[in-house]
């Protein structure tokens, strides 16, 4: 069985497409665990009234998304787990495709995901030009992992409020964990997550993670400069929006 883990906070108006995509799965071999951070918009009522899904949930204050995911891992009963954001969606065959890939007992299964109209595919482990972990298209939706990896490598670190997933997956690569890929896109990645909104913060944390795990400070700084240039339009839009709010 696969455990799907979703961290939520005030998502009453955004989580409905995800629930519909879970109900549309061609395989029922999954559980859905929702860890809510004490929402104030009626999210809990929506979860309490939800039917037709193998759902377990809690609602209590937390220290951010990765604290919530660590709680969800403690609640999970599946040997493998998949992080899915409240604004993400799964393709109908996602659980079936992931389950079929588990016959060879990999540590991590990575799959393509849609980000708007762009299909993001897992990339080679030697791709230094991007800030995220290699062999992964997106942590949320596109990456299935053995739950017991956290017994070996530790939980998601609160030292990385935005990029704890990057830090963990980089450590998994360095530890020699076995990654495999599947060809079919498994879902759509939402753009409302912290790493998508705070691009500069995500890049800075990813730089720290890469230096801590991989070393090679000068190379990492050079690659960071390249990433800043590539992402400058998104960073500029974010800073401009923040200035408008301050006014």
Kindly report, residue by residue over 150-209, the tens digit of the pLDDT: 999 999 999 999 889 989 998 999 899 999 999 999 999 886 654 455 778 888 888 888
The lowest-confidence range among 49-63, 70-84, 132-146 is: 132-146
pLDDT > 80? residue 130: no
pTM for the predicted model, two decimal places: 0.85
Query: What whole-number distance in Å separates Cα of residue 23 and Cα of residue 51?
Result: 10
Between 42 and 229, the higher pLDDT residue: 42
pLDDT at 129: 46
d(CA 11, CA 183): 31
- How far apart are the C-alpha atoms of 141 and 88, rounded to whole Å? 7
Model pLDDT, residue 218: 82
Confidence of residue 128 (pLDDT cuts 50, 70, 90): very low
β-partners of residue 144 are 82, 109
The two tokens of residue 188 are: 């759509």
What the chain holds in terms of domains, given with CATH numbers, is 2-190 (3.90.550.10)
| Distance in angstroms (rounded) separating the CA atoms of residues 111 and 40 | 34
* pLDDT at residue 192, as a whole number: 60
Comparing 17 with 244, which gets the higher pLDDT? 17
* Total length of the chain: 247
State what percent of residues in the chain have pLDDT above 70: 86
Distance, in Å, from the CA atom of 119 to the CA atom of 8, rounded to the nearest integer, reads 25
């Amino acid at each position: 069985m696969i455990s799907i883990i979703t961290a939520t906070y005030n998502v009453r108006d955004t989580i409905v497409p995800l629930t519909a995509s879970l109900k549309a799965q061609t395989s029922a071999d999954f559980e859905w665990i929702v860890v809510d951070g004490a929402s104030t918009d009626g999210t809990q009522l929506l979860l309490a009234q939800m039917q037709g899904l193998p759902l377990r949930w809690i609602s209590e204050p937390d220290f951010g998304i990765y604290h919530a995911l660590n709680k969800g891992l403690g609640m999970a009963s599946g040997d493998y787990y998949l992080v899915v954001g409240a604004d993400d969606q799964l393709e109908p065959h996602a659980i079936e495709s992931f389950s079929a890939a588990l016959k060879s007992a990999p540590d991590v299964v990575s799959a393509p995901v849609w980000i708007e109209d762009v299909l993001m595919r897992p990339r080679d482990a030697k791709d230094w030009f991007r800030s995220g972990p290699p062999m992964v298209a997106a942590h949320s939706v596109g990456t299935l992992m053995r739950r017991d990896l956290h017994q070996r490598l530790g939980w998601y670190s609160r030292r990385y409020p935005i990029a704890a997933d990057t830090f963990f997956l980089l450590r998994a690569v360095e530890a020699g964990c076995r990654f495999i890929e599947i060809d079919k896109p498994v879902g759509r990645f939402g753009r409302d997550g912290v790493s998508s909104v705070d691009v500069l913060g995500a890049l800075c944390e990813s730089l720290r993670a890469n230096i801590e795990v991989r070393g090679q400070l000068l190379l990492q700084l050079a690659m960071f400069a390249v990433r800043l240039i590539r992402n400058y339009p998104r960073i500029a839009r974010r800073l401009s929006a923040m200035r408008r709010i301050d006014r």
